[in-house]
Structure 1
Amino acid sequence: MDQTKHTADGALVTGEDVARWLTFSGFWGFVFYVLSTVGMLIGQRKQPVRIHGKTVLVGMIVHVVSFTALGSLLSAVVSFRSGKSTTRMARERIPTVEQRIGPQTLGGMVAGAVPFLMSAGSLQVARKMTGKMAFPDAQTIDWVRGGSIMALLTAVTALAVSNIAAWVARDSRVATIAESSSKPNELL
C-alpha cells in the first residue's frame, strides 16, 4: 500500500477527514441558506415581506442536513477517486491559495445557483411539514432578481473567505520561516 496516500494504519479516510467534511459542509450549508433566504426576501416584489418563521427554521434544518450529507458524500467520493485524504489535498493546496482568489470568487458566484435551488426545495419540504408557506406571498418573488442577489452575496462571501484563507496561509509561512530562523543551529 502506498503510504504517501494513506495514514500509517492504511486508512484513506480518518476521523479528522470526516469531522472536516461535516464541519465544512454544515457551515457552508448554513451560510448558503442564509444568503439564499436573503436573496428570496430581496427578490419579493410585494412589500412588506411576510415570513412564516417556523417554516423558515424547518427549511434551514432540512437544507443544512441535506447540504451536509451531500457535501460529505462528495468529499468522500473525491477522496476515494483521488486516492488521497481530503485533509492531505487541502494541505497540498495551501501554498497556492493566494493565487486562487479570483477563480474561487467566480466559482462561488456561479456555484451559488445550486444552494439557491436547494434552499427553495428545502422551503417546499418545510411547507409540507408545517402546513404553511415560508413566504405567504411567494408568487411575488422575482426569482431572477433573488438568484442574482444570491450570486452577488455568494461572490462577496467567497472573496472574503478566500482572502482570509490566503492571509492565514501567508501568516503561517511567515511564522514558520521566522521560527526556523530564530532557532540556533544544532549540532548532531
Structure 2
Amino acid sequence: PMPMPMPMMSSAASSVVRPEVQEVEVIKEVEVIKEVEVIKVEKVEVIKEVVNTDEVERMQKLLAAADEHIAFLEGKLRIADEHIVTMTSSIASLEMEIKRLSVSVTSTGGGVGGGSTTTSTYKVKTFELAAKLAAGDNDGDDYSYKGLPIEVEGEGLYKDLCLAGRKVAVSASSTSRVSGGGGGSRSSMSQTYK
C-alpha cells in the first residue's frame, strides 16, 4: 500500500499555532529575565550589606580613635589644672615676698638747720636677698633694685656693705648628668654668702 500523504495544513491553521508557541516562548523569556533581575537585585542587596558593614566598622574605628584622643586631651587638661594650682600658690608666695620686700621710708635727721631728708629703700632681712635683688633687675646698677637702694636690716645699705669688702662667694656644689643627646654634663651652682 502506498503511504498516505500527510494532510497539509492550511497556512491559516499554521499561523494560529505559531503565535501561541511564540507567545509561550516570549513568556518563558520574560520569566527568565525576571529571575535574572531578581538575582541582580539580591546581589546588589548583598553588596550594600557588605558596604554598610565596612562603613560601620570604619565609623567604629573613627569613634574609638576620637575617644582615645579625648582621653589624651583630658589627661593634658588635668596636668594643666595641676600646673595652674602650683603656679597660683607660687604667685601667692611671691606676692607675700614682694609685700615683705616693699619699700620702706626711712627718715634720717639732718645736720645743721634741723632739716630732714627722706630716702626710699628696699628693706630686706638678709645680705643674700639684697644680692639677688641687685643682680636680678638688670638695671645696670649692682647696688640697687629698680633704681632704689637696698637696705639690709640691722646692717646698713647693701652698697656700703659691698664697698666695705663684703662679697658673695660662688662655689660648685654638685654636678648632675643631663640625659638625652650629646651626653654632656651640666654643673648646678649654689651661692654661699659671707
TM-score range, shorter chain: under 0.3
TM, length-normalised to structure 1: 0.22
TM, length-normalised to structure 2: 0.21
When Rg is computed on C-alpha atoms for both structures, the one with the higher figure is 2
Q: Which structure features the higher share of strand residues?
A: 2
**Larger relative contact order, structure 1 or 2 (CA cutoff 8 Å, min sep 6):** 1
